[in-house]
Amino acid sequence: MHREKREGGATIDAALMKKLIDTATKREPADLVLKEAQVLDVFSGKIERKDVAIKDGYVAALGLDFPAQETIDLKGAYLIPGYIDAHIHLESSLVSPAQFCKVTLARGTTALIADPHEIANVLGVEGVEYMLRITQNLPLDIFFTAPSCVPASPLETSGAVLGAKELEPLLDHPRVVGLGEVMNFPGVINGDTQLLEKIQLALSKGKKVDGHAPGVTGEALSAYVAPGITSDHECVHLKEAEEKLKRGMYIMIREGSTAKNMSALIPLVRAFGVSRFMLVTDDRHPQDLLEEGHMDFLLRKAVYMGIAPNLAVRMATFNPAFYFNLRRRGAIAPGYMADMVVVKDLRDFFPMWVFKGGRMMAQDGTLLENIDTSLPEPPPPSFHIKLPPQPFRIPARGKKARIIVVIPNQIVTEMEEAEPTVKDGEVIADPARDLLKVAVVERHRATGNVGVGLIKGFGLQKGALASSVAHDSHNVVVVGTSDEEMLLAVKKVEDMGGGLVVVKGQETLAALPLPLAGLVSLDPVEVVARKVQELHRAALQLGCALDNPFMALSFLALPVIPKLKITDLGLVDVEKFRVVDLFLE
């Protein structure tokens, strides 16, 4: 195949141009013709019953009676472009990119744009380069954005710091198509020169700058958009998304394993048209990938919510390709890459066949070719924990405390003021009130930092949960009903070199090791999904009230998502963008 990835796009040389022309004019036979296809044209939104001629991995023409070396009669099935996820963190799937590819390519995803800021916050440039290396030969085209916020904020301790100097060579990489979500929105609004330098660098290289501005509106939104940030995937409410749309932003409608915003935002597509909207997952767990799918699931849901199929398809194909300048992708048209999905109808979107570069890669949700899932030697372990004595002890210093309140199926939290339960002068967890302890233990630099707070919403009656997946600095986050169980859970995570764990008393009920940067398993996706189910069942046995407790746990340490979060430096009032005391003054 005469194909080259350059600046996120695909270029063709003069020789291939001539082949495409000769195939279109029937002077040369096509490699493959898909006959009797109902082709969805993303440009007009119409459906045409045509034959599609493919040459050297590209669509040469649409028409009738093309001579071909091979012909497949689709018998009136629908032919749509391969799906493109415009914003995802691969590390959050807990599996390697190759394992992720095995599932998602078979479900119709042919390209995606990944933001590797999870591994970057642990391993820095070395982590991003590792992700680039292990994805370069996968049949699923994986592009990246250079992480803009490592760390995400000055309110936590990360494993690395990436400034403009470190980002420049990454932005020059042919598969890096933009600057990753600028999460430190207070920094932008306040004119942080280091952040602005990163944005200017990306724009000077013709790259997009992705945004992350939850709840930002009014003059603050104008200040955030003005430097050249052009997308946002954090909209929760319709009015917020509408204002961002009117300020020139592209809206990425997110429907992931935790944050589910589609139902709130879909009405905007009907009101304003489809051109500035994309469907994205952001985070997708292995069980959801296996049971529900990837972008095909988002398409099903969008159509179920009343979006016309042609509009839904455009949000998952051409729009992300256009936004990120992925040339010759996202449509079935002459000169476009032959990345296509065959479906029986435009409601279910389950693929009969998936074609990647004109090759049939999957049938009925199963890959037809083996993918090499072996990994090169991973980066060194990244655990350096130093625990102080009684790390989770909270001396009572006031009558009322700030409480983190979990909101199911959202990554935002609320703050509540309440009297903690006190025994012998110390604050203790009180499962009867659903008032548990939560802590973040620094794991990169052996600082001994431990932030401790209180949380409602997990519902645990006994035991503890701990995880080294704690966005975005990925220290160890733990929630529990006793200090002793919390300590055991943290030590178990450390012993595994990273992972997820459920403990009760002195017993480990379930665990998933994540040896790659404390973020990614080396096991097959099916094994990881099974172990995650075991973790969920174990958490349920302890009384947990959340469907996906570890995803909720992972976002408690993200100090750029409102309202109240916790890092190794303590409680963070995100709206004030500062560390605050557990007790009210």
What tens digit of pLDDT does each residue of 318-363 get?
A: 999 999 999 999 999 999 999 999 999 999 999 999 999 999 999 9
| Amino acid residing at 72 | I
Q: How many CB atoms lie within 10 A of CB 49?
A: 11
Q: Parallel, antiparallel, or unpaired for β 4-6 and 9-11?
A: antiparallel
Helix H or strand E segment including 97: helix 97-106
Domain spanning 83-329 has what CATH number?
3.20.20.140
Q: Which residues contact 190 (CB under 8 A, 6 or more apart)?
A: none
CA distance 435 to 270: 42
Residue at 581: amino acid letter: D
Give 1's contacts (C-beta < 8 A, 6+ positions apart). Answer: 56, 57, 357, 358
pLDDT at 1: 38
Residue 254: partners with Cβ closer than 8 Å, 6 or more residues away = 87, 233, 234, 235, 260, 261, 262, 280, 281, 282
Report helix angle 125-135 to 164-171, nearest 10.
10
Q: What is the pTM of this model?
A: 0.93
pLDDT digits (tens, 9 = 90+) for 222-254: 999 999 999 999 998 999 999 999 999 999 999
pLDDT of amino acid 3: 39
- Note the Cα 24 to chain centre separation in Å: 39
173 token code pair? 């990489």
The pLDDT assigned to 472 comes to 87
How many degrees, rounded to 5, is the angle at CA 157 between CA 532 and CA 559? Answer: 70
Q: Which two tokens stand for residue 253?
A: 């409608």
b (16+ CB within 10 A) / e for 371-406: bebebeebbeebbebebeeebbebebeeeebbbbeb
What confidence tens digit (pLDDT) does each residue in 536-546 have?
999 999 999 99
Rg of the Cα trace of the chain? 24
Indicate the domain borders of the chain.
Answer: 83-329, 401-580
Nearest to 561 by CA among 215, 55, 278: 215
Q: What tokens does 163 get?
A: 């400034």
Q: What are phi and psi of 252, to 5 degrees?
A: -90, 110
What percentage of the chain's residues is helix, strand, coil (to nearest 5)? 30, 30, 45
The Cα–Cα gap between 574 and 523 comes to 36
- DSSP code at position 242: H
CB 439 within 8 A of CB 566: yes
- Cα-flanking dihedrals φ and ψ of residue 342, to 5°? -105, 125
The angle, 0 to 180 degrees and rounded to 10, between the axes of the packed helices 262-272 and 295-304 is 70
Strand order from edge to edge, sheet including 564-567: 564-567, 570-573, 578-580
Return the structure tokens found at 41.
């044209």
pLDDT for res 8: 52
- Rounded to an integer, what distance in angstroms lies between the CA atom of residue 355 and that of residue 353? 7
pLDDT at residue number 78: 98
Name the DSSP class of 78: E
d(CA 560, CA 568): 14
Contacts of 112 (CB under 8 A, 6+ apart): 84, 85, 86, 88, 104, 140, 141, 142, 143
Closest Cα partner for 43 from 311, 276, 252?
Answer: 311
Cα-Cα-Cα-Cα dihedral of 402, 407, 408, 411, to 10°? -100
Beta bridge partners of 142: 112
For the sheet with 464-467, list strands across it: 413-418, 401-406, 450-456, 436-441, 476-480, 464-467, 499-504, 507-513
Listed in sequence order, the DSSP H helices in 436-524 are 483-495
Q: What span, in angstroms and rounded, lies between the C-alpha atoms of 118 and 95? A: 13
Q: Which residues pair with 10 in a beta bridge?
A: 5
Q: pLDDT above 90 covers what percent of the chain? A: 90
DSSP tag of 497:
T
Which DSSP helix (H) or strand (E) runs through 538? helix 525-541
Instruction: Give counts: helices (H), strands (E), the chain.
Output: 17, 32
Q: Is the peptide bond before 492 cis (omega within 30 degrees of 0)?
A: no
Token pair for residue 289? Answer: 């990938």
185's enclosing H/E stretch is helix 185-189
pLDDT below 70 — which residues of the chain? 1-9, 585
